[in-house]
């Protein structure tokens, strides 16, 4: 029963995604939208698809979307039991020479993004890599920051941030749970 108030509700998530889409357009219009969105499974993938749909609507341009599974590149792979793999889907036209925008739901320690940068390296050589996240909850353990942040959410390390999306969980919301808040 402790602290179940949603940080972002149904409409908020959509508004935040719209804002990030506008920011991506603003930042990449100069390059003629030579970008690709790469979602990190599980929830980064539907987020990337939603962003692409909004960019298509606002800027009338098609942005290729892919998925990047980082399981095999995790630095804690051998600390835990073996994990199932997610899908890696290369965006149409590949990533070499393009600006790649990595999309994830929560930015926490930064280790996922470090793994994603390693994984990208094996797929090709992007011109630049940017990062878009729905929630930045702090507690970074690596020198990594996001270029597009939906919501900065100060948290205690004992708390957990739960992102739910319609595609994966049937509802859009972000909740902060647990800890002594």
Q: Which residues bind another protein (CB under 8 A)?
A: 69, 72-73, 77-88, 118, 122-124
What is the nearest approach in angstroms of another protein to the Cβ of residue 142? 17
Of 127, 62, 115, which Cα lies nearest the Cα of 91? 62
Instruction: For another protein, give the closer residue by CB, 97 or 124.
Output: 124
Least distance from C-beta 150 to another protein, angstroms?
A: 29
Q: Alpha helix (H) ranges present in the chain? A: 10-28, 44-59, 111-123, 166-169
CB of 70 to another protein, least distance (A): 11
DSSP 44: H
Q: Which is nearer to another protein, 30 or 80 (CB)?
A: 80
CA dist 121 and 95 (Å) reads 10
- What strands, in cross-sheet order, belong to the sheet with 128-136? 65-67, 35-39, 99-107, 128-136, 148-152
Instruction: Output 69 or 172, the one with its CB closest to another protein.
Output: 69
Q: Which residue lies nearer to another protein by CB, 3 or 97?
A: 97
* Three-class secondary structure of residue 114 per DSSP: helix
3-state SS, one letter per residue, for 7-43: EECHHHHHHHHHHHHHHHHHHHCCCCCCEEEEECCCC
* Cβ 132 to another protein shortest distance, Å: 24
Residue with smaller CB distance to another protein, 55 or 67 = 67
Min dist CB 89 to another protein, Å, is 9
Tokens 């859009």: give the residue: 172
């Amino acid at each position: 029963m402790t602290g179940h108030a949603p940080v972002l509700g149904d409409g908020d998530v959509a508004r935040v995604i719209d804002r990030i889409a506008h920011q991506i357009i603003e930042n990449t219009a100069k390059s003629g939208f030579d970008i690709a969105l790469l979602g990190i499974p599980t929830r980064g993938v539907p987020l990337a698809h939603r962003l692409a749909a909004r960019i298509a609507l606002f800027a009338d341009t098609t942005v290729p979307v892919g998925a990047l599974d980082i399981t095999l590149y995790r630095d804690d792979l051998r600390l835990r039991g073996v994990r199932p793999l997610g899908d890696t889907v290369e965006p149409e036209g590949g990533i070499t020479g393009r600006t790649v925008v990595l999309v994830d739901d929560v930015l926490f320690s930064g280790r996922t993004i470090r793994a994603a940068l390693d994984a990208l390296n094996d797929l090709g050589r992007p011109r630049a890599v940017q990062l878009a996240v729905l929630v930045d909850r702090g507690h970074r353990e690596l020198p990594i920051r996001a270029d597009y942040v939906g919501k900065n959410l100060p948290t205690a390390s004992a708390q957990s941030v739960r992102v739910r999306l319609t595609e994966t969980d049937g509802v859009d919301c972000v909740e902060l749970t647990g800890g002594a808040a």
